[in-house]
Each structure stands twice: as structure tokens, then as C-alpha cells.
Amino acid sequence: MIDPSDGPVLAESLSRDRQTYARWLPARPEEFYTPDGQAEAIASLLESHGKGHTWPGVVVSDGTVIGQVTISSILRGPFQKGFLGYWISSRHQGLGHTSRAVGLALRIAENELNLHRLEAHTQLENLASQAILRKHGFRSWGIAHEHFYADGAWHDEVFWERRLSGGPAAQGVSSQ
């Protein structure tokens, strides 16, 4: 779970990788890349978690925070689903951390959050992220054209889904 003390290291990674990830992430105000900006973002995530709308986590390697994994936009009632998002510092990519984070998020979504479904989006060109989602049982179910604006342009995105065994029918949870 993310903690307010994670702000400085997240700000450092995000600031360092800002240009590297400009193609994949939305534009943010300058403040977002500072420890104070990250403290504000973390406070918002934790507030949303308290309301049951988000599960915000960090990815840790050798005791150091190297990225984030989040289940957001959690819908209850007849949907019982959430949206998976993640990023890993460029210094730690290609070492299995993203796959480990996605696996953890799947376990949390199913066993703790009792969700029936997780969804994710990837840009068409993000083959590495698509491979990780496939490895963890996600299936693509469509393409949204000009769906995401980043780095000064609209980008097409692939929509992904993974059904879980959690949810009201499997857990005896009311769908109300």
C-alpha cells in the first residue's frame, strides 16, 4: 500500500523519467513532479481508498520504491470491477518488476477486493505492457481510436480484460 512517506522517491523517479514516459502518460502540472505534489497525489489516492474506489500500491525492490500499481475506478453493484494501472522506473525495467506488480494486483483484486473483473488499456505501440497483460491472462477486447491524449497527440489504445473468480456470485457478497 502506498504511504505518504513514498512521495519524495516517487517524485524523483517521475521527474527523472518525465521525458522517457511522455509518450505514455498524460501531461501533468510542474507541481506533480515535486515531493509536495506527490504528497498531494498520495493523499488523494488514500482518500479514494478509504471510500473503496481505489487500491493504491507501490512497487518495491530491495527496500526501495521503484514504481506504482493501482486498481482504480472500482465499481461495485452489478459490475464488481476495477481498472489496473502501473509504471516502473526506467532504471528498473526489464527485471520482472512489472510482471510481479501485475500478479500482486490480480491477487489483491480477487482475494481482498472480491472483484469479478479487472480492465486495463495500453497504447497500440506498448508491446511490453501488452506482453505482461497477456502473461497474466488478460485478453484484448477492442481498440479505441484516438482515446488517450499524451505528448501532444491523440493515441489509439487496446482495451484489456481479465475475469476473476471473485465477486458477489463467488463470494456470497450482495451486489447492492
Assign residue 102 the CATH number of its domain. Answer: 3.40.630.30
**30-66: burial string, b at 16+ Cβ within 10 Å, e else:** eebbbeebbbebbeebeebbeeebbbbbbbeeeeebb
- At 62 the pLDDT is 94
| Strand, helix or coil for residue 176 | coil
- Whether 176 is in a domain gets the answer no
101 is in which domain, residue-wise?
Answer: 4-170
Residues 143 and 156: their CA atoms lie apart, in Å, by 7
- Whether 143 is in a domain gets the answer yes
- Whether 56 is in a domain gets the answer yes
Residues 121 and 22: their CA atoms lie apart, in Å, by 16
Q: Hey, how many other C-beta atoms are within 10 angstroms of the C-beta on 165?
A: 12
- Whether 69 is in a domain gets the answer yes
Total of domains in the chain: 1
- Whether 87 is in a domain gets the answer yes
- At 23 the pLDDT is 85
Note down pLDDT in tens along the chain; length 176 residues: 999 999 999 999 999 999 998 888 888 999 999 999 999 999 999 999 999 999 999 999 999 999 999 999 999 999 999 999 999 999 999 999 999 999 999 999 999 999 999 999 999 999 999 999 999 999 999 999 999 999 999 999 999 999 998 666 544 544 44
- Whether 175 is in a domain gets the answer no
- At 22 the pLDDT is 87
- Whether 14 is in a domain gets the answer yes
Question: For the whole model, what pTM was predicted?
Answer: 0.90
- At 169 the pLDDT is 57
- At 175 the pLDDT is 42
- Whether 57 is in a domain gets the answer yes
80: which DSSP letter? -
- At 168 the pLDDT is 63
